[in-house]
Amino acid sequence: MAAPSAQAQHGHAAHVHGQARLELGWDVGPAGGQLSLALEAPLESLLGFEHAPRTAAQRQAAQALLGRLRTAQGLWTLPAEADCRLAQAQVQAPVLEAAPAPGAATPDADGHAELQAQWRYDCARPAALTGLQLHLQGQFAPLRRLEVQAAVPGGQFRRVLGRQDRGELRWGR
Ligand SMILES: [Zn+2]
């Protein structure tokens, strides 16, 4: 198979252990606001391994990771005044699933595997969502560098967060 071109890689995070990428979008419409977050990471960056779990401890770690991502518990804090509800959460990590569906992505021949997750929040008082606090960057031992790409009313910005960085993102007045 030919190596993917630079073009094909556009918008797709490189597979670098210890790193992850978070895309954040914020749209305000007549009925409220929708906040979307999408995470793309080598499994190694979140879990410390990227093969199917082999031991009870690894199975437990994998289930804990999936559960935590599905609930988004502790990953970020949204302003309470914005009244946001988690409307949708999806996590895809085929290598962690006990019986992958036929045709599901398998790890690369060299054993690398990724996790992708998406969340959507519906916010009843969007005017109050002028930023958020990210905690994701400090939650996973192997994760050293989180790249954040945000597209919000008023523009786009990019931030790179290390484990110790305060993840305060602001875009409102
Ligand atoms: Zn890898």
| pLDDT at position 33 | 94
Identity of residue 59: R
**Could you tell me the distance, in angstroms and rounded to a whole number, from the CA of residue 21 to the centre of ligand 1?**
14
Task: Map out the domains of the chain as residue ranges.
Answer: 19-170
**Could you tell me the distance, in angstroms and rounded to a whole number, from the CA of residue 45 to the centre of ligand 1?**
8
Give the angle 43-36-9 at the CA atoms, nearest 5°.
Answer: 50
| pLDDT at position 9 | 43
The pLDDT of 119-141, averaged and rounded, is 95
HEC sequence for 92-121: ECHHHCCCCCCCCCCCCCCCCCEEEEEEEE
CA nearest to 36, candidates 98, 83, 88:
88
pLDDT at residue 83 is higher than 70: yes
pLDDT at residue 21 is higher than 80: yes
**Could you tell me the distance, in angstroms and rounded to a whole number, from the CA of residue 145 to the centre of ligand 1?**
15
Tell me the C-alpha distance between 163 and 99, whole Å.
Answer: 33
**Residue 171 — φ and ψ, nearest 5°?**
-140, -10
